Amino acid sequence: MTDLDTLEGDLLGQVGSASDEASLDAVRVAALGKKGSISELLKTLGGMTPEERKERGPLINGLRDRVQGAIATRREALAEAALEARLSAERIDITLPVRDAPESRGRIHPISQVMDEITAIFADMGFSVAEGPDIETDDYNFTALNFPPGHPAREMHDTFFLAPDHNGQRKVLRTHTSPVQIRTMRSQEPPIRVICPGRTYRHDSDQTHTPMFHQVEGLVIDKTATIANLKWVLEEFCRTFFEVDAVKMRFRPSFFPFTEPSAEVDIQCSRKGGEIRFGEGTDWLEILGCGMVHPNVLRNCGYDPDFVQGFAFGMGIDRIAMLKYGTPDLRPFFEADVRWLEHYGFRPLDIPSLVAGLTS
Residues at the site binding ligand PHE, with contacts judged by CB under 6 A:
176, 178, 217, 256, 259, 289-291, 312-314
Nearer to ligand PHE, 140 or 313 (CB): 313
Q: Which residues pair with 262 in a beta bridge?
A: 254, 291
Contacts of 228 (CB under 8 A, 6+ apart): none
Nearer to ligand PHE, 108 or 308 (CB): 308
In whole angstroms, how close is the CB of 340 to ligand PHE at the nearest point?
Answer: 27
Q: Which long-range contacts (CB under 8 A, 24 or more apart) does 239-242 make?
A: 240/121, 240/354, 240/358, 241/117, 241/118, 241/121, 241/320, 241/324, 241/358, 242/267, 242/278, 242/279, 242/323, 242/324
Tell me the residue nearest to ligand PHE as measured from the CB: 314
Distance CA 30, CA 36 (A): 5
Distance CA 310, CA 318 (A): 26
51 is in an annotated binding site: no
Nearer to ligand PHE, 176 or 319 (CB): 176
Nearer to ligand PHE, 37 or 208 (CB): 208
Q: Is 249 exposed, middle or buried (0-12, 13-18, 19+ CB in 10 A)?
A: middle
85: how many CB neighbours lie within 10 A of its CB? 10
In whole angstroms, how close is the CB of 317 to ligand PHE at the nearest point?
Answer: 12
In whole angstroms, how close is the CB of 291 to ligand PHE at the nearest point?
Answer: 5
Nearer to ligand PHE, 113 or 177 (CB): 177
In whole angstroms, how close is the CB of 114 to ligand PHE at the nearest point?
Answer: 17
Tell me the CB-side half-sphere exposure of residue 93, using CA atoms within 13 A. Answer: 3
Q: Are 198 and 215 in contact (CB under 8 A)?
A: yes
Distance CA 72, CA 356 (A): 69
In whole angstroms, how close is the CB of 319 to ligand PHE at the nearest point?
Answer: 11
Closest residue by Cα to residue 197 from 313, 336, 322, 351: 313
Closest residue by Cα to residue 38 from 59, 17, 16, 13: 59
In whole angstroms, how close is the CB of 237 to ligand PHE at the nearest point?
Answer: 14
Nearer to ligand PHE, 241 or 256 (CB): 256
Which residues are known binding-site members for Mg(2+)?
A: 260
Which residues are known binding-site members?
A: 260
